[in-house]
Amino acid sequence: MSMSYLELLKLASPQAIVTLTALIVLAIGVATGRRTVVTGVAPAKPQERATHAVPASMSRRTADTAAASTGTCTLVAALGLIVAIAAIVMLPSRADLFRGMLVISPLNSLFEIVCLVLAFFTILLTSRETSNYDEYLAIVLLATIGLLLLVSSEELLMIFIGLELTGLSLYLMTAFDKGDSRSAEAGLKYFLFGSTASAFTLFGLSLIYGMAGSTSLAAIADRLNTEPLSPLLFAGLAMTLVGFAFKIAAAPFHLWAPDTYQGAPVSTAAFIASGSKVASFVVLGKIMLVGFSSVHGSADWRAMVAGWSPVLAALAAFSILIGNFVALVQTNLRRLLAYSAVAHGGYTLLGIIAGGREGFSATLFYTTIYAFTLLGAFGVVALVRRETGGDNLPDFAGLYARSPLLAGCMAVFMLSLAGLPPLAGFFGKFYLFSAAFRAGANHGLLWLVALALFGSLISLYYYLIVLKVIFQTQGAERARQSSAAENGLARLTIAFAAAAVLFLGIAPQFLVARILAALP
Amino acid sequence: MIAWTIYITFAGAIAVLLLPRTFSRWIAFLATGAGFAISLSLLFCRDLDLAHFTTIVRAPWVPALGMNYHLAVDGISLTLVLVTSITAVSSVLFSWDVTERPNEFFFWLLLVVAGSFGVFLSADLFLLFVFYELVIVPKYFLIAIWGSTNKEYGAMKLTLYSFFGGALVFIGIIAAYVTGGSLDLNQLAQFQFNPQLQRWAFPVLFLGFAILAGLWPLHTWAPTGHVAAPTAGSMLLAGIVMKLGAYGGLRVAMNLFPQGLQMWSKWIAVLAVIGIVYAAAVALRQRDLKFVIGYSSVSHMGFVLLGLATANVLGVSGAVLQMFSHGVIGALLFAVAGRMIYRRTHTRDLDDLSLMELNRALPFAAFVFVIASAASMGIPGFSGFAAEITILIGVWKTYPLAVWITGAGMVLVAAFTLRALKKSFFGDSAANIRLQQGRVALDADWNEYGRITLAEKLGAGLLILATIAIGVYPKLLLDRIQPAVESMRFLKTGG
């Protein structure tokens, strides 16, 4: 392959720009100096911690520089992401570097943009009180590069590198709240589960490479077309799936999710639930439907055929049941969102199981709108946490009286998750379930659709409980002052997410047409 | 033009939310009033083809999936739009005294009304389902925030039942969409679904809708929901929401899967007859006035389902007329029980009420309740009689035995209605309760609510007028319903 480095850099410019931004942010942090010295272990309660974050000894001048520095960092990071989006828009519409290592196609570009937008809003949601703010932003950007690699690669090795880069950055981001032991615990759990899952994936990939003789998805697909499914290949496939099941928190590989969603800094949780999930579903769909489409198998009722779809169907069924039933008894909103995320992972898998252009497009639509919904929901959690110091359900009591905007947005997010019109979740579910119903001979996936609908019915109960608390119970006035400008950015993010969920519910064509046009 | 009922109501909902609270009830009144005016004017419009489901608006919505924004109207739709708008106007009038968060109250109320208009006018399966599900959440908030007795339980039960029905409908709709390859109701009504699919898809779809229509034994959400709801909420539930289920069963399930209907109609009839008799018997033993009316709703809706199960012109036309009739009468009964009595006496217990001599304290309420009871019992001259007799003539052709059992059930209906009437307004007087013209003193804040207000009188007057008009001259609606029913497929294929 003859290609000048300049050409190469041009095609990889989005990734390069984000990398550069991360470095600049770090440099700004170093240049303005360390601002806070964490003395000992700070108390676990956030409101007390907040008072410790700025030691009294710090002079007014340092505080001002610190504020200016965090402001600059945010601005640079946000600008970098915007420039990266612009770079993607200007790229040629199709290119292929090193046999699938880096592929530019309409689909990849679309989801690179989605990931960048999600990262952008994650940065807006990040609390300025985070210690070592600049490093946190740099790690968010690094995780974003991982997502970009994941989405834009069609080669197993590169996909693995993307998974690892994202994973390692997310472990760090999870454990970033040094004052909170929950955060440390969450980081450790996430890391242990994640590294085990990665090991499985790597082993699975090596088996697949051994069987197929190539790491490029296209080459694997060619090879498999002529060969039947051997047990060893199936083992490799199943092990690879473990890694992805972990990423999308499908039961029974979901055990890290509740602790991570609850313990991690809120913006980290939002990023895990949105960006990381979107990228994982895009890659999973590509691997299964491009690379392994010939060993699809069948998950039809009483007509199962060996392949990857029965495995995914089992994962989906477990996720829907476990996620929804366990979410019923949660009293912490973040844990509740975690279990509901497990269930939603199950619904989203339905599209991939159904397969085909329609199924994949339904999965992509659903995972995108789900990402925006959870981003917004975590935004609300972040603001309530800043106000009341907690995120248990009672902390949300009377939110309606304190902030009608946040309460209204939360209603949009919860009802969209429950799948009620006119919100995006409703259309998303209709799309997914009709794709699943259409697939297979004689509507064999009806059992899975019925199960998913049953799950939605259960989920409506706990989403309504959340809304009941928000709208009905008169909460004590526990508001605490926090920076108005910062809340302004977070509010903007939340309002944008709510508007997006509403808009994509009323005019789903906007996204569906783009996804369908991008799919081959 | 009838599409404007939907737009005006939605616009009203948004306006109510944005404008100051002093305007909210007036905006709600204007929005629902406009809907009423439009539907009434269309009733007398000559150049509208009401015999067929005629398209009025059609625009692509999600072309990739074949979804259209497609509205249509025929005699059945028009009848239901009319009853929706009548109930809506009077429920706003009966909520004139809502002072707690009135913006949101009228917002949710208008959403229910707008969604119902949407269901009755949709000619696209997906659009219909969107409107159908849109009505669920407002009901939850109306009941959970502004309700009374056991409101959170009632609200959640009602919502989960509706959503469960919605899930069944979802499966049925996807089945029709995927096999029929279209979402257009008129196109699907021409499509020959294979009998094997119809065998399971029809009961799933019909059951999903019928849950909302109060089909026994899945009716239990109705009495609890009605009791927990605020007055306007009960009026909307009885007047509109239960009709959504029956309408869906007719327009979607029966019209798309005629062979499925043939296979299952006798089971529907059996459940409907059990519902009529059972609910009437249960109503006879209730102490809470609203529970009596709640069960009477289930009983009356049993007539609708029985009429649908006959699958002949008279039975089905009668069922549609009964939907109108029960909408008006049910709303009137709940208005008396919830607003006129409960807001003044703070009790709905029949034994307590029987000590109060309400006929002297609230003569207007007594007058309205007598009329509503007479209409509910099926006395000639009121719409209930016209509807039920049409249904029974239809039933006679297919299930003669059901007519006998239902006849016995009607005696029970008369019995519990008279019992409720006697106990609530014409009880034995007791000396220990202070009485004053127009006021009842049982509660500490007895003087808070005085005489029957003008708003209440107007609302009640509208409903009474509607039931008498249709009772005296049922042809007004039947002439529009019958041709529309005749053009439905299950009749042509020899159902």
Task: Tell me the per-residue pLDDT of B194-213, one tens digit each, with 9 for 90 and over.
Answer: 888 888 889 999 999 999 88
> A373 vs A269, A287, A423, B473, CA distance in Å?
13, 26, 10, 53
Nearest CA in chain B to A505: B130
Per DSSP, the residues of A370-385 read: HHHHHHHHHHHHHHHH
Torsion of CA A279, A282, A288, A292, to 10 degrees: -100
In contact, B287 and B351? CB cutoff 8 Å: yes
User: Cα(B140)–Cα(B158) distance, rounded to whole angstroms?
Assistant: 8
Kindly report the nearest CA distance between residue B466 and chain A, in angstroms.
33
Contact at CB, B137 and A454, closer than 8 angstroms: no
Helix (H) or strand (E) holding B117: helix B102-121
In sign, the C-alpha dihedral spanning B19, B21, B23, B27 is positive
Nearest CA in chain B to A517: B64
Count Cα atoms within 13 angstroms, Cβ side, for B328.
Answer: 32
Contact at CB, B170 and A430, closer than 8 angstroms: yes
Question: Which of B21, B62, B101 is the best residue to mutate to test the A interface, defined by the most A CB atoms within 10 Å of its own CB?
Answer: B62
Q: In chain A, which among 414-473 make CB contacts under 8 A with chain B?
A: 415, 420-422, 426-427, 430-431, 433-434, 437-438, 443, 446, 449-450, 453-454, 456-457, 460-461, 464, 468, 471-472
User: Cα(B293)–Cα(B286) distance, rounded to whole angstroms?
Assistant: 10
Q: Does A502 touch chain B (CB under 8 A)?
A: no
In contact, A338 and A251? CB cutoff 8 Å: no
Domain boundaries, chain B: 3-492
pLDDT in tens, A22-35: 999 999 888 886 55
Contact at CB, B178 and A464, closer than 8 angstroms: no
Q: Does B141 touch chain A (CB under 8 A)?
A: yes
Q: In a 10 Å sphere around its CB, with 0-12 CB exposed, 13-18 middle and 19+ buried, how is residue A218 labelled?
A: middle
Going by the DSSP 8-state scheme, the letter that residue B64 receives in this structure is: G
User: Cα(A147)–Cα(A280) distance, rounded to whole angstroms?
Assistant: 8
Q: Does A480 touch chain B (CB under 8 A)?
A: no
In sign, the C-alpha dihedral spanning A436, A505, B167, B81 is negative
Q: What is the mean pLDDT of chain B?
A: 84
Nearest CA in chain A to B62: A509
Out of A437, A457, A513, closest to residue B175 by CB: A437
Phi, psi angles (nearest 5°) of residue A379: -60, -45
pLDDT in tens, B98-138: 877 888 889 999 999 999 999 999 999 999 999 999 988 88
Domain boundaries, chain A: 10-35+60-518
**Can you give the pLDDT of all 495 residues of chain B as single tens digits?**
788 888 888 888 888 888 888 888 888 888 899 989 988 888 887 777 777 888 888 888 888 888 889 888 888 898 999 999 999 999 998 888 887 788 888 999 999 999 999 999 999 999 999 999 998 888 888 888 888 878 888 888 888 999 999 999 999 998 888 888 888 888 888 888 888 888 888 999 999 999 988 888 888 888 888 888 888 888 888 888 989 999 999 989 888 888 888 888 889 999 999 998 898 889 888 888 888 888 988 988 988 999 988 888 888 999 999 999 999 999 999 888 888 777 777 777 777 777 777 777 777 888 888 888 888 888 888 888 888 888 888 888 888 888 888 888 888 888 888 888 888 877 766 544 555 444 444 544 444 456 778 888 888 888 888 888 888 888 888 888 888 888 887 775 544
Contact at CB, B126 and A471, closer than 8 angstroms: no
ipTM associated with this complex:
0.86
**Can you give the pLDDT of all 520 residues of chain A as single tens digits?**
556 788 888 888 899 999 999 999 999 888 886 554 444 444 444 444 444 444 444 555 566 667 778 888 888 999 999 999 999 988 887 888 877 788 888 899 999 999 999 999 999 888 877 778 888 999 999 999 999 999 999 888 999 999 999 999 999 999 988 888 889 999 999 999 999 999 999 999 999 888 888 888 888 888 888 877 788 888 888 898 888 899 888 988 898 999 999 989 889 999 999 999 999 999 999 888 888 887 777 777 777 777 788 889 999 999 999 999 999 999 999 999 999 999 999 999 999 998 888 899 999 999 999 999 999 999 999 888 888 878 888 888 888 888 888 889 999 999 999 988 889 999 999 999 988 888 876 777 888 899 999 999 999 999 998 998 888 766 655 555 555 556 788 888 899 999 999 999 999 999 999 999 888 7
Q: In a 10 Å sphere around its CB, with 0-12 CB exposed, 13-18 middle and 19+ buried, how is residue A314 labelled?
A: middle
Contact at CB, B65 and A512, closer than 8 angstroms: yes
Give the distance from CA B423 to its chain's centroid: 26
Q: How many CB atoms are located within 10 Å of the residue B190 CB?
A: 10
Per-position b or e across B15-43, b if 16+ CB within 10 A of its CB: bbbeeeeebbbebbbebbbbbbebbeebb
Which pLDDT value is given to residue B433? 53
Nearest CA in chain B to A441: B179
Q: How many CB atoms are located within 10 Å of the residue A334 CB?
A: 23
B136-B143-B454 Cα angle (round to 5)? 115
Task: Spell out which residues of chain A touch residue B170, defining contact as CB-CB under 8 Å.
Answer: 430, 433, 453
Phi, psi angles (nearest 5°) of residue B379: -75, 135
Helix (H, G, I), strand (E, B) or coil at B240: helix
Tokens of A259: 């602790």
Contact at CB, A461 and B133, closer than 8 angstroms: no
Contact at CB, A434 and B174, closer than 8 angstroms: yes
